Amino acid sequence: MKNRRDFLRNTFGLGAGLAAAPRLFAAPTQASGESMDMEHMSQATQRSTRIVSVETPDVPQLPWRMAGGAKEFQLVAEPVKQELMPGKIVNLWGYNGRAPGPTIQVNQGDRVRIVVDNHLPEATSMHWHGFEVPSEMDGAPGSSQDAIPPGGRFVYEFTLHQEGTYFYHSHMAMQEMMGMIGAFIMHPKEPYKPRADRDFAIILQEYAILPNITVPNSMNMEFNWLAFNGKSGPANTPLIVRHGERVRIRLINLGMDHHPIHLHGHQFVVTGTEGGRQPESTWGPGNTVLVGVAQSRDVEFVANNPGDWMLHCHLPHHMMNQMSSMVGPMSRRRDGTPGGLDMERGMGMLRQGSATSEENGPSLGRGMGVGSTAEQRVSNSPLKARNPLQHQDMPGMQRGMQMGEPEGSKDANSVPGFPQDAFMEGSMMAMDRMVDKPENFGLRPGWSGFMAGMMTFVRVLPPDKYDQIMELRKKQEGNKPMKMDMPGMEHKHE
Ligand SMILES: [Cu+2]
């Protein structure tokens, strides 16, 4: 980009996208198959009259059917197993088999009915965050309705006059921390100007899942698993865009932490909040947007810089997986270091005192595991020149884990502070093949060793590479049964 004028033209949308949107949101109709027909329409017509469907990488769309004059959706609140990354399967609570739950997309003005069934072992309630609906449909347990008992059902129905990036979530605080949220996109009657060629949504979540347990500790404030759409890097699916397209990314946060989300290689403008579209007069350039708890932020930019660009939370602890404080230095320090509390107390099962007491507070959740105590010094395990796991016959190797030489200097173990990360992020931890998928095709070998936590790519691709990945995606989808071919499903993958 040569100058500020170019910047304004590109970012504020006076520049045009190079390609027609690959997926269309069939705004005025609901017949399934409609979106296929529309793909044959001329690009010009598409661009002027159609709004692109929102893609939620790694999260399915929730299908609907017309019933009694409303778009009817079904959500089941239930315990789910979610694979954060290969081999890391955790027990969360979510909707329709996953956390976050499926994405709902409707049009401004729609009459919507959502049937919520509670398959949890306790009561729940569904809140429609930011919706201007009658109070008895607000989902606030106790005040606007009775909580939905286990095995119970509540039918929500309302007409939506708003537009923007909204979400649904359980209104039980601890259930929120177990994953119970989903995106709810309201497409505007009149397409936003400038029109986006690609539209993505990402839900930000964090969990404290201590070693040797699969259930988040919703009391713990030290989060060690950070996820975009229920996947931690490098397991999440990159956002694939064509060079020159105008891109919108909708970021949604409902957890215990705020997340400064940073995009490499581009400047963007914030065009919307959890309250809908912002007036253009408020847009100013940036590359990091703080998405606070209970907020959503829409950012838009023209993907004018080809490359594989990181999109990530910039809190350092949120760029890690299985983050356990001090485990690195603990395990390598020559003089030994306190091992932390034992497993039981580390998980917050207190025997005495409160969680925030002087004795317990600093150590909660930080234990090294079975057998370690706060009194015991932990011995060192010097960095080996060659990793013992480097055997081709290990199951991980067969699944594509690449254990290379550790990248430390010869005297690394004598340097105070080394290593800062328990796992030493780097090519040693690469697992390219383990997370292989069309969207990762062509990334630099070893890329996955540097992706963790709330981290993914926006891949701005020249047309030939873009087409190649779309071709691979099509092939892959041809090889497995369609997951989402239910009636009323208006979003089709290419
Ligand atoms: Cu963060």
Q: What is the pLDDT of residues 352-396, one digit of tens each?
A: 666 555 555 445 444 444 444 555 544 444 444 444 444 444 444
What three-state secondary structure class fits 104? strand
C-alpha 438 chain-centroid distance: 19
Say how many Å lie between the CA of residue 388 and the centre of ligand 1.
33
Range from 22-36, 176-190, 214-228, 432-446 carrying the lowest mean pLDDT: 22-36
**Tell me, what's the pLDDT at 209?**
86
CA of 124 to the centre of ligand 1 (A): 27
CA of 442 to the centre of ligand 1 (A): 28
Q: How many whole angstroms from 57 Cα to the centroid of ligand 1? A: 18
pLDDT tens string 110-120: 999 999 999 99
Question: For the chain, what is the mean pLDDT?
Answer: 79
What are the b/e assignments for 394-409, b being 16+ CB within 10 Å?
A: eeebeeebbbeebebe
Report CA(221)–ligand 1 centroid distance (Å). 13
Q: How far is the CA of 266 from the centre of ligand 1 (A)?
A: 20
Find the 254 Cα to ligand 1 centroid distance in Å: 11
Q: What is the Å distance from ligand 1's center to 313 Cα?
A: 5
CB 101 within 8 A of CB 168: yes
pLDDT score of 422: 52
**How far is ligand 1, taken at its centre, from the CA of residue 251, in Å?**
12
Q: How confident is the model at residue 322 (pLDDT cuts 50, 70, 90)?
A: confident
Residue 19 — very low, low, confident or very high, per pLDDT cuts 50/70/90? very low
pLDDT for the residue 378: 46
Residue pair 263/290 in contact by the 8 Å Cβ criterion: no
Cα–Cα distance, 116 to 65 (Å, whole number): 15
**Backbone torsions φ then ψ of 418, nearest 5 degrees:** -95, 140
Nearest to 204 by CA among 314, 307, 95: 314
Find the helix or strand (DSSP H, E) in which 81 lies: strand 70-85
Distance 94 CA to ligand 1 centre (A): 21
Which percentage of the chain shows pLDDT scores above 90?
56
What mean pLDDT is predicted for residues 293-307? 97
CA of 21 to the centre of ligand 1 (A): 30
At 304, list the tokens: 């004018």
Mean pLDDT value of segment 212-225: 83
Q: Please tell me the predicted confidence (pLDDT) of residue 102.
A: 98
Ligand 1 centroid from CA 80, angstroms? 23
Q: How far apart are CA 43 and CA 21, in angstroms?
A: 8
In a 13 Å sphere around the CA of 251, the CA atoms on its Cβ side amount to 30
Query: Coil, helix or strand for 221?
Result: coil
Of 186-190, 288-292, 380-384, 426-430, the range with the lowest mean pLDDT is: 380-384
131 Cα: distance to centroid of ligand 1 (angstroms): 26
Span from the CA of 422 to the centroid of ligand 1 (angstroms): 19
Q: In sequence order, which residues have a C-beta less than 8 Å from that of residue 354 and are 6 or more positions away?
A: 360
DSSP H or E stretch at residue 45: helix 43-49
Residue 415's pLDDT is what?
A: 76
* Most confidently modeled range among 2-11, 115-124, 368-377, 409-418: 115-124
| Of the candidate ranges 163-172, 271-280, 482-491, the one whose mean pLDDT is the lowest | 482-491
Among the listed ranges 29-33, 96-100, 453-457, which one has the minimum average pLDDT value?
29-33
Q: Cα(476) to centroid of ligand 1, in Å?
A: 32
Span from the CA of 258 to the centroid of ligand 1 (angstroms): 6
The rounded Å distance from CA 255 to ligand 1 centre is: 10
Q: Which of 253-257, 307-311, 381-385 has the lowest mean pLDDT?
A: 381-385
- What residues have CB less than 8 Å from 478, skipping those under 6 apart? none
Residue 117 Cα, ligand 1 centroid: separation in angstroms?
A: 31
Q: How far is CA 481 from the centre of its chain?
A: 25
Residue 278: pLDDT above 60?
Answer: yes
Q: What is the pLDDT of residue 369?
A: 41
Instruction: Specify the amino acid at residue 359.
Output: E
pLDDT band at 317 (very low <50, low <70, confident <90, very high): confident
Q: Select the more confidently predicted residue: 130 or 416.
A: 130
Q: What integer pLDDT is reported at residue 414 of this predicted model?
A: 78
Q: Residue 207 Cα, ligand 1 centroid: separation in angstroms?
A: 11
Q: Ligand 1 center to residue 290 CA distance, Å?
A: 9
CA 257–ligand 1 middle distance (angstroms): 7
How many angstroms is it from 292 CA to the middle of ligand 1? 10
Tokens representing 263 are 């995009």
pLDDT band for position 406 (cuts 50, 70, 90) = low
CA 339–ligand 1 middle distance (angstroms): 27
Q: Per DSSP, what are the bridge partners of residue 301?
A: 247
* The pLDDT value given to residue 106: 97
Cα 291 to averaged position of ligand 1 atoms, centre (Å) = 9
pLDDT score, position 488: 41
Q: What is the pLDDT of residues 128-142, one digit of tens each?
A: 999 999 999 999 999
pLDDT digits (tens, 9 = 90+) for 328-351: 444 444 555 455 555 555 555 556
Spacing, Cα 25 to ligand 1 middle (Å): 31
Q: How far apart are CA 302 and CA 248, in angstroms?
A: 9
Residue 387 is given by DSSP the state -
Is 124:147 a contact under the CB 8 Å cutoff?
Answer: yes
Contact call for residues 183 and 203 (beta carbons, < 8 A): yes
Q: Ligand 1: distance of its center to the CA of 269 in Å?
A: 20
* Tokens found for residue 441: 């095709």
CA of 239 to the centre of ligand 1 (A): 19
Contact 74, 154 (CB under 8 A): no
Say how many Å lie between the CA of residue 463 and the centre of ligand 1: 33
How many angstroms is it from 261 CA to the middle of ligand 1?
A: 7
Centre of ligand 1 to C-alpha 441, Å, is 27
pLDDT tens digits along 439-485: 999 999 989 988 899 999 999 999 999 999 999 999 988 776 544 43
Q: Measure 260 CA to ligand 1 centroid, in angstroms.
A: 6
